[in-house]
Chain A
């Protein structure tokens, strides 16, 4: 069974600081996703990572994937208040494995303190 773990679960950080959220998964998977969720809202897709060594950046967020270590990171640079949200990573095994359902991590609730 595919398991996805995130840490930390809760993160408070000051504006302007850098930090990293980690996502570990238990079995070989094709694809890794990062989503953002604001309270009471739906999930907003941030990144899709498809291959070992993939790195994607959007604004102050950068995501990377190491398939050998089964680890993805979401790095936040010079945090601003607008980034406060819950961040989820999710993994699926892709159509090549005949399994396209996403398995989500527990989420990291990020609070940026002015």
Chain B
């Protein structure tokens, strides 16, 4: 059973370009979370999605950032017109539909975004 798959592993963009980060959850998982980690810091929640629905986007910047989790295909985190401050590691995590019993979140290997 493959884990949470993220690609690309590393992404380099120039200021003003768009960045697209992909996340395929574990098989059987229908909940996806995106987190951002700045150097030497903990992970900060960005957005929580279920299939075709955004459940909680309270951690998403108001502009330039968007996320989706379509019925078919991976979840996408999209950053438009990137700036140097967007440079960070972006982690995706997935979980089963029911976490009432405290199931763990499983994290992908992350995408390291570098903005030149």
A residues apposed to B, CB below 8 Å: 30-31, 33, 35, 41-43, 45, 48, 50, 88, 90, 94-96, 99-107
**Least Cβ–Cβ distance between A24 and chain B, in angstroms:** 14
Stretch at the interface among B14-22, B66-74, B80-88, B98-106: B98-106
Find A101's partner among B56, B91, B102, B106 (CB 8 Å cutoff): B56
11 other A-B residue contacts (CB within 8 Å) besides A42-B108, A101-B33, A107-B42:
A42-B109, A45-B107, A48-B102, A50-B102, A88-B42, A90-B43, A94-B99, A100-B99, A101-B45, A102-B105, A103-B45
A43 near B42: Cβ-Cβ < 8 Å: no
**Least Cβ–Cβ distance between A99 and chain B, in angstroms:** 7
Instruction: Please classify how large the interface on chain B is, using the bins under 10, 10 to 19, 20 to 34, 35 or more.
Output: 20 to 34
B110 near A42: Cβ-Cβ < 8 Å: yes
Q: Of B43, B56, B100, which is in contact with the most chain A CB atoms at under 10 Å from its CB?
A: B43
A45 near B106: Cβ-Cβ < 8 Å: yes
Cβ of B27 within 8 Å of any chain A Cβ, yes or no, is no
B91 near A43: Cβ-Cβ < 8 Å: yes
How long is the Cα–Cα vector from A90 to B107 in the complex, in angstroms?
A: 13
Kindly list the 4 A-B residue pairs having the minimum CB-CB distance in the complex, ordered from nearest.
Answer: A104-B42, A43-B107, A45-B104, A104-B43
Find B102's partner among A31, A35, A43 (CB 8 Å cutoff): A31
CB neighbours (8 Å) of A48 from chain B are 102-104
How long is the Cα–Cα vector from A35 to B44 in the complex, in angstroms?
A: 14
How long is the Cα–Cα vector from A67 to B68 in the complex, in angstroms?
A: 35
**Least Cβ–Cβ distance between A13 and chain B, in angstroms:** 20
CB neighbours (8 Å) of B105 from chain A are 33, 45, 102
Q: Of B33, B56, B105, B107, which is in contact with the most chain A CB atoms at under 10 Å from its CB?
A: B105
How long is the Cα–Cα vector from A33 to B105 in the complex, in angstroms?
A: 9
How long is the Cα–Cα vector from A11 to B98 in the complex, in angstroms?
A: 36
A95 near B42: Cβ-Cβ < 8 Å: no
CB-based nearest B residue for A109: B40
Find A106's partner among B35, B42, B98, B100 (CB 8 Å cutoff): B42
B42 near A105: Cβ-Cβ < 8 Å: yes
Cβ of B41 within 8 Å of any chain A Cβ, yes or no, is yes
